[in-house]
Amino acid sequence: MSTEIIEAPLVSPRAGYLRRKRRERVVWWLTGLIMAMIAMLFLTPFLWMVSSSLKNNVDIFEIPLRWIPDPMVWSNYISVWFGERSMVRYFSNSTIVVIATIIGQLVVVTLAGYAFGQLKFKGQHVLFLAFLATSMVPGQLLLVPRFMFFRQIGLYDTLWALILPGLASVFSTFLLRQHFASAPRELGEAARIDGASEWRIFFHIYLPLARPMLAALAILIFDATWNDYESALIMITDESKFTIPLGLTRFMSEDGTVSLGPALAGSVSSLIPVLIVFLIFQRQFMHSMSRAGLR
């Protein structure tokens, strides 16, 4: 606070304002502190993960728990990234699958969300509910039939087997439907009167409105696809097509023992892209989830 040359008498509102501002600042810091402490609780498992990934296998279960590894070794990361069968391959496969899934799913889901949300047709409510109901099917029930089916149509052991089933996501369709439903009808109707084609209306009027939502969804899809293990385990056999979760299984030997150090190094490595993506798009994510206007 710079000293005022013109000294005004200390009128109560101003003093009150200062006091309030100071109190707000205190609250600001206090809230941050409390939340940070709770956040530490949430963060502890990650700290353990990172710490253990820098230890030799022998030391990981040492009791009492040592947060700073002694000795600290980078060998886990080196073997995971530069050793035989480096994770680079798995990373690239996972990236391919994730990007293809994001693009594919966004296309499919946007079209469907628009149809359910903005367009009118007979039976759309029933159809939508039925669609929602499909999300209740337990994944394991589908596993074996899907496997045999993919064998039949020759998609077994290809990355397509991981991409295609994820395209018609109920969750994403729902969110987009809500989004489109809350968009004003008049825009479309006006365009219709002017003779615009349905495709133009969708593509040039409503789709741009959904852009923020699509960005948010992209993050969620990324998150869900990156860590998928079960379906990849069943569908992929060729090691050159492994995704990251599968790649981590190679630290499991045939008798069930696990080499934890490298496995954790791999896990930490695989977390970083997701984290980065989230941090970058965080604001946009929040922003557009709010536009979802789930009403």
Q: Smallest gap, in angstroms, from Cβ of residue 17 to another protein?
A: 17
The DSSP code for 3 is P
Q: Smallest gap, in angstroms, from Cβ of residue 204 to another protein?
A: 15
CB 176 within 8 A of CB 113: yes
CB 76 within 8 A of CB 261: yes
Residue burial 51-68, b: 16+ Cβ < 10 Å; e: rest: bbbbbebebbeeeeeeee
Among the listed residues 77, 91, 174, 206, the single contact to another protein using CB under 8 A: 174
Among the listed ranges 2-10, 11-19, 36-44, 94-102, the one in contact with another protein (CB under 8 A) is 36-44
Residues 59-88 that bind another protein (CB under 8 A): 59-65, 75, 79, 84-85
Q: Is 207 in the site for another protein (CB under 8 A)?
A: no
Residues 104-133 that bind another protein (CB under 8 A): 107-109, 111-112, 114-116, 119-124, 131, 133
Q: Smallest gap, in angstroms, from Cβ of residue 5 to another protein?
A: 32
Among the listed ranges 8-16, 94-102, 203-211, 223-231, the one in contact with another protein (CB under 8 A) is 223-231
- CA nearest 173: which of 127, 209, 138? 127
Among the listed residues 49, 103, 181, 187, the single contact to another protein using CB under 8 A: 49
Q: Is 135 in the site for another protein (CB under 8 A)?
A: yes
Contacts 24+ apart (CB under 8 A), 267-272: 267/49, 267/53, 268/49, 268/50, 268/53, 269/77, 269/80, 269/81, 269/87, 269/91, 270/87, 270/91, 270/94, 270/226, 270/227, 270/244, 271/46
- CA nearest 214: which of 294, 288, 268? 288
Among the listed residues 14, 22, 44, 74, the single contact to another protein using CB under 8 A: 44
Q: Is 187 in the site for another protein (CB under 8 A)?
A: no
Q: Smallest gap, in angstroms, from Cβ of residue 68 to another protein?
A: 16
Q: Is 12 in the site for another protein (CB under 8 A)?
A: no
CB 90 within 8 A of CB 262: no
